Amino acid sequence: MNIATIGTSTITVRFVEAVRKSGKLTLAGAYSRSAEKANKLGAPRVFTDLEELAGSKEIDVVYIASPNSLHFEQALLLMKKKKHIICEKPMFSTAKELEEAFKTADENGVFLFEAFRNLYTLNHDRLKEAVEKVGTVRHSFLQYMKYSSRYDNVLAGEEPNIFSPKFSGGALVDLGVYPISLAVSLFGKPKNVSCHVTMLPTGVDGSGSVILDYGTHTCTAMFSKITDSYLPGEISGEDGTIVIDHVAPISTIEFTNRRTGDQEQLAVQEEENDMIYEAEAMAAIIESNDQEKYAHFRSVSEIVIHITEEARRQAGIVFEVEK
């Protein structure tokens, strides 16, 4: 299948590298308002008109990595032209947009994926299997906290896209979705959600935490784009504890048996560019029309956006598209 890209940022470059290494998809086009920037991706064809990309018979799949608030309209246009979509997280700004987009995908017989790269890896699957070892889970802690160089622009009085409500930005939807999506993949839909954030003068959050109440246990998901953290993640149960080095990528998984004190190292060596796993998995789902796997990832996206929407409601974060 032939794939085209929208966006020219670092994450698009990494995705293109993953596509080339996987061999499951063929880079056939790149879209940008700047032909010069699009040319740097090395695609055989460059598009500067989105309608032209949508109408191209040469393109089967489109990877979207434009500013968050642009995802919805771009995805709808492309899906109506029978293009499968791989969209960077956060896929859309609101649950309403997500619902309409999946409806459009169904009506046009195409697949719509949110690029939660951490959910497609080998070690994600190893972790999911290992959770049974801890017995009844009582608490989990997951975090993604990384200082953004764009925060320096905020401190200088500017409003970069990733910290702007106009472009549906903020730490919650940019980094918080990593620990939240992992929690949803492992534990499912929580019963209740509570959120506390540090607001920035731009009108979105710079850091915060979301507590997911599962009835028998709570999961604390912490996120930040204005500080760094080196804390590992932890899943604690009545029979033992799992410690992971990070949520994206997961490189180490250590299980400690509470009764014996024995420790097991459960992680495997992965590709340095872990986006290769999502590229391969999504291509396989499309080619085999695997509705069961597709339904799982679709459900994760639906639950995650309802969590982030409720968290934003509690924090008073309103995106421009909601006004």
Mean pLDDT by 10 residues, the chain (323 residues): 96 96 95 93 96 97 97 98 98 98 98 98 98 98 98 98 98 98 98 98 98 98 98 98 98 98 98 97 98 98 98 98 95
The angle, 0 to 180 degrees and rounded to 10, between the axes of the packed helices 177-187 and 122-130 is 50
Q: How confident is the model at residue 169, as a pLDDT?
A: 98
Cβ contact 318:309 at 8 Å: no
Alpha-carbon distances, residue 271 vs 1, 199, 277, 282 (angstroms): 22, 36, 9, 17
Entry pTM: 0.97
Q: Which residue has the tokens 């999506």?
A: 181
All structural domains of the chain: 2-115 (3.40.50.720), 119-280+285-322 (3.30.360.10)
The β-bridge relationship of strands 253-257 and 263-265 is: antiparallel
Q: Kindly give, in sequence order, each residue whose CB lies less than 8 Å from that of residue 148, ignoring residues fewer than 6 positions away.
A: 162, 163, 225, 226
Q: Kindly give, in sequence order, each residue whose CB lies less than 8 Å from that of residue 191, ignoring residues fewer than 6 positions away.
A: 213, 214, 215
Q: How far apart are the C-alpha atoms of 163 and 148, rounded to whole Å?
A: 10
Q: How far apart are the C-alpha atoms of 317 and 18, rounded to whole Å?
A: 34
CA-wise closest residue to 112 among 66, 73, 79, 89: 79
Cβ contact 195:188 at 8 Å: no
Cβ contact 101:107 at 8 Å: no
Q: How far apart are the C-alpha atoms of 77 and 65, rounded to whole Å?
A: 15
Q: Give residue 181's Cα distance to chain centre.
A: 7
Cβ contact 133:212 at 8 Å: no
Cβ contact 255:267 at 8 Å: no
220 membership: H or E segment, kind and range? strand 218-224
Q: How confident is the model at residue 175, as a pLDDT?
A: 98
Q: How confident is the model at residue 193, as a pLDDT?
A: 98
End-to-end CA distance of the chain: 39
